[in-house]
């Protein structure tokens, strides 16, 4: 066995992953806020998908 750390473990997290992680946290906070502020079941789901999936995808594609 080699005592050297793998190359993959020493690499920093990619910028795309960081952007996605920030938007996922924002999506969870926004979903909680909309759940407490509205009685609708559609709005929190739309916010979760919009902020957690669509927004980071658009930002990452725009940065390319």
Q: What is the pLDDT of residue 64?
A: 87
Question: What are the boundaries of each domain within the chain?
Answer: 38-64
Host H or E run for residue 17:
helix 15-37
> Phi and psi (nearest 5°) for 13?
-70, 140
Query: To the nearest whole number, what is the mean pLDDT of the chain?
Result: 89
pTM of the shown model? 0.77
The percentage of the chain sitting over the pLDDT mark of 70, rounded to a whole number, equals 83
The pLDDT tens digits of the residues spanning 12-41 come to 899 999 999 999 999 999 999 999 999 999
């Amino acid at each position: 066995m080699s005592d050297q750390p793998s190359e993959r473990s020493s690499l920093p997290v990619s910028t795309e992953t960081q952007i996605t992680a920030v938007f996922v946290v924002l999506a969870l906070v926004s979903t909680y806020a909309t759940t407490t502020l509205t009685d609708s079941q559609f709005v929190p789901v739309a916010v979760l998908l919009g902020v957690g999936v669509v927004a980071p995808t658009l930002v990452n594609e725009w940065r390319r």
